Amino acid sequence: MTFESSPVRTDWTRDEIAALFDLPFTELVFRAAEVHRANHPANQVQRSTLLSIKTGGCPEDCGYCSQSAHADTGLKATKLMDPRAVLQAAAQAKDHGSTRFCMGAAWRNPKDRDMPAIVEMVKGVRAMGMETCMTLGMLTDAQAKTLADAGLDYYNHNIDTSPERYGEVITTRSFEERLETLEHVREAGINVCCGGIVGMGETRGDRVGFIHALATLPVHPGSVPVNALVPVKGTVLGDMLADTPLAMIDDIEFVRTVAVARITMPRSMVRLSAGRESMSDATQALCFLAGANSIFTGDKLLTAGNAGDDKDAALFARLGITPMAAECKVELEAAE
Q: Is 328 annotated as a binding residue?
A: no
CB atoms within 10 A of CB 79: 9
Of the residues 31, 47, 100, 133, only one is catalytic, namely 133
- Of 274, 200, 279, nearest to 239 by C-alpha is 200
Residue 193 is assigned to a ligand binding site:
yes
Please report how many Cα atoms fall inside a 13 Å half-sphere around the Cα of residue 279, on the Cβ side. Answer: 31
Please confirm, yes or no, whether 102 is among the known catalytic residues: yes
Q: Count CB-CB contacts under 10 A for residue 284.
A: 22
List the catalytic residue out of 31, 47, 58, 287: 58
Active-site annotation holder among 31, 47, 62, 173: 62
Select which of 178, 186, 262, 271 is catalytic: 271
- The span from the CA of 183 to the CA of 161, in Å, is 18
Contact assessment for residue 102 and residue 135, using Cβ atoms and an 8 Å cutoff? yes
CA–CA distance from 148 to each of 111, 122, 134, 144, 224 (Å)?
Answer: 17, 10, 11, 6, 20
Rounded to whole angstroms, the Cα distance separating 145 from 150 reads 9
Q: Is 58 an active-site residue?
A: yes
Task: Judge whether 271 is annotated as a binding position.
Answer: yes
Q: Which amino acid is at 130?
A: M
Active site residue 65: yes
Q: How far apart are the first and last CA of the chain?
A: 22
Distances (CA, A) of 251 to 176, 201, 203, 276, 283: 31, 14, 15, 11, 6
Distances in whole angstroms, Cα of residue 32 to Cα of each of 1, 26, 113, 143, 314: 20, 10, 45, 37, 25
Cα–Cα distance, 82 to 104 (Å, whole number): 14
Active site residue 193: yes
- Asked if 228 contacts 191 with a C-beta cutoff of 8 angstroms, the reply is no
Catalytic one of 31, 47, 65, 207: 65
Q: Is residue 276 flagged as an active site residue? A: no
DSSP 3-state percent helix, strand, coil across the chain (nearest 5): 45, 15, 40
The backbone torsions φ and ψ at residue 295, rounded to the nearest 5 degrees and listed phi first, read -140, 160
Annotated ligand binding at 102? The verdict is yes
Q: Is there a binding annotation on residue 287?
A: no
Residue 194, marked binder? no
Q: Find the catalytic residue in 100, 165, 186, 193.
A: 193
Please pick, among 31, 102, 194, 256, the residue that the annotation labels catalytic.
102
Residue numbering of the annotated binding site for [4Fe-4S] cluster: 58, 62, 65
Residue numbering of the annotated binding site for [2Fe-2S] cluster: 102, 133, 193, 271
Active site residues: 58, 62, 65, 102, 133, 193, 271
Residue numbering of the annotated binding site: 58, 62, 65, 102, 133, 193, 271
